[in-house]
Structure 1
Amino acid sequence: MNDTILIVEDEPKIARLVADYLSKSGYASDHIDHGNAVMEWLEENQPMLVLLDLMLPGTDGLTLCRQIRERFPAIPVIMLTARVEEVDRLLGLELGADDYICKPFSPREVVARVKAVLRRSYGIIGTEEAIPEGDRLTLDEDGWRAMAGREDLNLTAVEFQLLKVMMHSPGRIFSRDQLMDHMYRDHRIVSERTVDSHVKKLRRKIADVWPDRDIIRSVYGVGYKYQPEE
């Protein structure tokens, strides 16, 4: 494995923008704009991650994701898609993408998601921008504590689990059903309003410390996401 991120995207402007932001964060990248060239490139170069567009000329992203999983199971794949209806397939056992990002997206969001997947896959954090301690939201997973700067948010166990799930995949939209699966390991039956209530309380506790920051965002008709401020 080398330290390159492969960008598979047929729109040159998007590819250049993502490559520029990855470079600023300390990551090297290569670019392929046609699906038929991907597997041959991977045979000769094994990157540490693939950013893979769903809609490509030649071999499409879904087929490529399946082929990468079969031939190179250790390489993480983040799908880029404008087709929200494909999300379950992308993340499910059928294809097994490690994460997905819906278009249109912020290039900063792409970098944040790349860092999150690399952290999960290899323990790699990458080059981090200096963040003042008072502006950091951090989790003490052993102690089940969330800190906004130096302030303990005093979260309940369910609120902590909710925040933890979203923070591990910044920018990813979680449906209420997905959040319920993570919040309640005993698979109890709860209503979507229960999830909304927990999110409301979590947002209020963050706002008590940072009244001008909106980092837990609702996506109308879909669910919620953790969005680090740019």
Structure 2
Amino acid sequence: AVPYLKYRYQLFAERKAANTEGKTGHNYIEEQAKLLPYESNEAFEDYNEMVIQYGFINLFVVAFPLTPLLAFANNVLEVHVDAVKLCFVHRRPFPHPAKDIGVWFYILRFMTYIALGTNTALILWTSDLFENQSGTARALGFVVACQVCLVLAILVERVVPDVPHEMKLLQERYKHIVNVVFKGLFEGDNSKLNEVAERLNLQIYPNQEWEEPKQHYA
């Protein structure tokens, strides 16, 4: 919020000075240039913040069951704060296409498996339901419960698809439209797959030796 307030105050001061001197204000490009650049570490910090929150929610959720509700309220506020940051505080970031979130997915998946053990341990060793059980019985129950939860988690991963069936159909339809309309390909047509583009002459000439290529007309 502080960088945004500083930016708004700077714009207010410049517009006031421009009105006093009879000059026009800055255009959109100049205003963008005055904003803070959106560095690559900004995206890393955003991902890191979400992963830390995910860890606190899942690793110790049985200790305070209202944690997911508080995290949801925080995320609703965070969405609006990030929107203000991207639209008004930082310059327009350059898009970097990516297939997925990369290594963050495996970190979240690993934390999910660890959460099975931490929550099971909290229930067995801190709950009043098992205070009369011996340490050996609790340890055995911990191993069995972890194995059962792990099997259920893997089963859910296999049964529930990452992409819904309707979305897969839309993606296939999009690929078909691109192949037919833009690439001129049809089903079973491989005639244009082996075409080689014309090579470009990338030879660099000094200024004194370069000549305009002669065009030959039929």
TM-score, normalised by the number of residues in structure 1: 0.21
Q: Greater Rg, structure 1 or structure 2?
A: 2
Which is strand-richer, 1 or 2?
1
TM-score normalised over the length of structure 2: 0.21
